[in-house]
Chain A
Amino acid sequence: MFKKKDLLLFLLVLALAGVLFLLQYINAKNTTVLGIVRIWADGKIYREAALGKEETIVIRQDNGCENVVRLTENGFFMESANCHNQLCIGQGEVTTENYPLRSLGTHVLCLPNRVDVELVVENSTDMDIPDI
Chain B
Amino acid sequence: MKRLFSLLLVLLMIFPHPIAMAETKYSRNIFGYFDTVISLMGYTDSQEEFDRVCDEAAQQLKYLHQLFDGYNSYPGLHNLWYVNRHAGSSPVQVDQPFFDLLSKAKEMQSKPGYEKVNIAMGAVLVLWHEAREEGVLPDAKALEEASRHTDISQVILDEENRTVYFADPLIRLDLGAVAKGYAADYVKALLEEKMPSFLISLGGNVYAGDAPLDGRKRWGVSVQCPDGVPPIQFGSDMLEVFYTTRMSLVTSGDYQRYMEVDGVRYHHIIDPDTCMPATHLRAVTIVCESGFLADYLSTLLFLLPYEDGIALINSIPDAGALFVLSDGSVTMSEDLYPMAYTHGAGAR
Contact = CB atoms under 8 A, between A and B. Distances in A.
Given A107-B29, A114-B31, A131 B238 contact: no
A108 to B, nearest CB: 11
A28 interface: yes
Interface in A10-29: 10, 13, 16-17, 20, 28
Contacts of A6: 2
B236 A102 contact: yes
Interface residues of A, number: 28
A103 B13 contact: no
Given A103-B222, A103-B225, A127 B216 contact: yes
Contacts, number: 81
B221 A103 contact: no
Interface residues on B, range: 35 or more
Interface string A92-132: 00000010011100010101001010000001000111111
B346 interface: yes
Contact of B238 (A20, A109, A130): A130
A130 B241 contact: yes
B233 interface: yes
B228 interface: no
Interface stretch (B33-41, B100-108, B123-131): B33-41
Nearest to A109: B37
Nearest to A111: B37
A55 interface: no
Interface in B193-224: 199, 201, 206, 208, 212, 214-216, 219-224
A1 to B, nearest CB: 10
B221 A132 contact: yes
Contacts of B212: 131
A129 B214 CA distance: 13
A13 B2 CA distance: 13
B29 A101 contact: no
Interface of B: 2-3, 6, 9-10, 13-14, 22, 24, 29-32, 36-37, 39, 41, 199, 201, 206, 208, 212, 214-216, 219-225, 233, 235-238, 241, 243, 341, 346-348
Given A13-B13, A98-B235, 10 more contacts: A20-B14, A28-B22, A109-B37, A111-B37, A114-B31, A128-B220, A128-B348, A132-B41, A132-B206, A132-B221
